[in-house]
Structure 1
């Protein structure tokens, strides 16, 4: 048997080489069970069992590693999705002091307190003037934005686990957090709308001449100066500012709360760990110095103290699905509903026992195996399709072997990497149908060749970054997945996008767009 498998593997190499040498037209004539081409590649389609799981509660206090830098990306705002309805995202963040035991010079006056949260953006040029195109912003309307101090203490470690494991916080905990808000309004904007305008700074250069500089667009606003005067400046020399732990207990966090208005709203992805993200307290004081004539004069000096956001930051979500959509998700629908945020994922079960045993008993070389998901445009109500889909081993919360072996990279845009494993959406210009192709060739080969391999459930989710493969915990979901392998984790990259789409499922009436497993193979029987 091992010898036979070895022969099959060698044969596979020659067949693949032959296929690569074949012209593209050989693969465009798929009209049924057999692909008419010299290599004799054939196609079988297998029905799969697929259904939607509604994530009622997911862990959201997790950061990502992007190269050598940590990202703590969270959604903030209101997004009215044409299919999934209105969702609101707020953020509760720890705050840390940039410098412990800060000292303010005698006579220092707090001039302003500025919050800065850069948008994700791309720099362009128009008539030699730099302009920016915003990214990761969903919707074009406004929302009410308020910032208040929270007295809720965010633990880094879980007390129930003897402080040996990280504390998990979930997307449905905003009602709890709001019980601990103070009465102080640090910032309120009744209609906040993100802007692509660059930030202008007017200052002086080294020669003392007026100079104007610019930075990328950001949520940059003035906060309540009196609040920070009492909270920080007036506490100079106190125990509260003497150490990081004391300060964390003293100033436990800020709640960035979004509330819907009558317009469509907008939702923004922010990186709270960005080096430019934080709050700066700008103060001024007079300092004695000598002028060019040697006279003693007072010179106004401007300095600042920085506050940065802590590692523990929680995204909360509020909103309900429309009644009809909730019924479709819970019932035996013909569609698969996938949405990011505190949304939904798809569960896919490939091969029943008979189909898998049948494949094992035949002398076949598996050339390619794909799941093809077609967007149901009739139910999208004009919504944009998500950028990518992510397929994974749901039983073990791990990547598939096809993900690991796809080495395709896009250095200019890493979000478009691994396009062999998970294709970019492709729209047929004639039919208008949009399709996503998810490759699981090696996964299927392993199921056939490895007697110890388990036919695991597969999960499929929307993702804003195919390179992020971390998982987060699930607090509650429906329906409950049968069997021993419960839904305990989901891809973290699905939580940081509100995008979603409706796909034709396994019971769709249209045979051409129905969700199926397509296996391309070559028979070695002579």
Structure 2
């Protein structure tokens, strides 16, 4: 255990610190007034840090889901499939007489940012939450009928709790019951055999009742194949557009209108158990992966039907074009409750597996491996027992006041050499792993941002990058001032907050603090861990950080807890 020491810093440093940090995190106790004090930087607090593989994780009914294939040059390859229930836009629908489908399409918008608008009117977008090379990272995409019923409640618990599904359920639950009929059977191979995430704006063109393209006056175009002559009826941001098989939905939906299967969504979800999105490599380790919100999907059936039956009086009733919508995905904030599972498969690299296997819970590790999905989290045990006793005594008897505390994690640039900067996590997250709770510092930070991913900037955890190309990650810094205060200073009852285990994970959204279950609990130096942050499962990325037990040449980059004390000068 390295000996802790104190450094005296200047008043100028304190001034800079105070003006650069949020007031909530730099409040001094009321006993300290004026300039009658000076500062101490305690920056080699004893800590032990190590990594643990999460094992299989719960992935049902996530707010966001991954789809695609992504190779990370350090961590390995991820394949992300998705299965979801589908529900009727309106229960017990009436489709009219003799309904015949014209087309069926599925549109799922990507996360995008509008960058500019061309003189032609075309809007130019940049894709967000796409990993790998979106335009060239092609893979096979199959949309199949799901035959496995996704339950709401767990029969093993007498239907008293919600059913949990896990990232490895594809082989045992989904595959044995999946359909064999390809539903995204378009002749456009960009929708199936060579699918990729396009950043092009999508257009729906104006047509007549017969599905033919028309000009602005409604006249049918003489050249139906000339895109430049078409009139744009609707613009859509870049997204996954799939033309689906008409005959399947004709039989499954329209032809079933007179049966009880469409009477209610409960009956419908058992009759039509949903859709499976399955991915396959075209070439080894080739592809790209997107994080999507399937609850925003449009699944529409365009068909023609008459308002009355054929009769002697009206042998050719007029047929009109109609639309029927289906819904998919899960959104806890709305009434959309279609059960879904993100089915994640991993082929870990030898280096990643070896790093996890060599992690040391007793002395700490030289490297920390923090990766989302069915990946790994790091744990930190703060303070040796005698050190903690000494610090608490100094705070109690010498009026040392905790002014600021922060953890600094340095990125192992060598391990991340071949990982592009776009595949480095933009943010990491620390939490109370002992009790599976947020830290008080997270709660205290009310800072917000137009980009929700950048909220709670005082709490921190955002990546600090190089200023010149390739602008790779240097370090992450996270504040835990209020947490340290409560460990070192007794409350009004003379009690201290427990020195809990700190968890470290990647995060897809700092505002999402709920948890997901591990299929099998893991042990972290004597503490059983059954849950991890849900936002970690949503993020497919990972990073390698320096730990506490580093080689001498890496001493300047080791994981560090720095505590800034205010100490009265009359001590």
Partner of 1:319: 346
* Alpha-carbon separation, structure 1, partners of 2:92 and 2:46: 66
Question: What are the ranges of 5 or more consecutive residues in structure 1 without an aligned counterpart?
Answer: 1-14, 25-36, 64-71, 289-295
Partner of 2:408: 372
Distance 1:187 1:379, change over 3 A: same
* Alpha-carbon separation, structure 1, partners of 2:89 and 2:476: 46
Q: Aligned to 1:107, which of 87, 98, 112?
A: 98
Partner SS, residue 347 of structure 2: coil
* Alpha-carbon separation, structure 2, partners of 1:222 and 1:426: 43
Tell me how large the CA RMSD over aligned residues is. 2.6
Higher strand share: 1
Q: Aligned to 1:159, which of 138, 155, 159?
A: 155
How far apart are residue 300 of structure 1 and its match?
Answer: 5.0
* Alpha-carbon separation, structure 1, partners of 2:138 and 2:435: 41
Partner of 1:471: 515
Q: Number of aligned residue pairs: give it.
A: 480
Q: Aligned to 1:247, which of 260, 264, 268?
A: 268
- Give every structure 1 segment of 4 or more consecutive aligned residues whose post-TM-superposition deviation is greater than 4 Å: 15-18, 20-24, 204-211, 296-300, 428-433
1:54–1:477 contact (8 Å) kept in structure 2: no
Partner of 1:481: 524
Q: Where in structure 2 are the equivalents of 1:348-367 lying within 5 Å?
A: 348-362=380-394, 363=398, 364-367=400-403
How far apart are residue 359 of structure 1 and its match?
Answer: 0.6
Partner SS, residue 356 of structure 1: helix
Q: Where in structure 2 are the equivalents of 1:167-316 lying within 5 Å?
A: 167-176=163-172, 177-187=174-184, 189-203=192-206, 211-262=232-283, 264-274=286-296, 277-285=297-305, 300-309=319-328, 310-316=337-343
2:456 matched to 1:418?
A: yes
1:53–1:477 contact (8 Å) kept in structure 2: no
2:75–2:351 contact (8 Å) kept in structure 1: no
Distance 1:183 1:504, change over 3 A: same
2:463–2:473 contact (8 Å) kept in structure 1: no
1:433-483 per-position Cα deviation (integer Å, ceiling 9, x unaligned): 6111011111010011132411110101011211111111111366x3242
Partner of 2:73: 82
Partner of 2:61: 62
* Alpha-carbon separation, structure 1, partners of 2:241 and 2:19: 55
2:175 matched to 1:131?
A: no
Partner of 1:394: 433
Question: What are the ranges of 5 or more consecutive residues in structure 2 without an aligned counterpart?
Answer: 1-10, 21-34, 186-191, 208-214, 220-230, 309-314, 329-336, 360-364
Structure 1-normalised TM-score?
0.86
The worse-fitting range, judged by mean Cα deviation, of 140-149 and 325-334 is 325-334
The worse-fitting range, judged by mean Cα deviation, of 496-505 and 187-196 is 187-196
* Alpha-carbon separation, structure 1, partners of 2:343 and 2:197: 20
1:122-179 per-position Cα deviation (integer Å, ceiling 9, x unaligned): 1232334322111111111011111111221111111222222111111111102111
1:19–1:39 contact (8 Å) kept in structure 2: no
Structure 2-normalised TM-score?
0.79
How far apart are residue 330 of structure 1 and its match?
Answer: 1.2
Partner of 1:10: none
* Alpha-carbon separation, structure 2, partners of 1:239 and 1:21: 69
* Alpha-carbon separation, structure 2, partners of 1:138 and 1:211: 31
2:486–2:496 contact (8 Å) kept in structure 1: no
1:348-380 per-position Cα deviation (integer Å, ceiling 9, x unaligned): 111121111111111211111111000000001
Q: Aligned to 2:38, which of 29, 40, 43?
A: 40
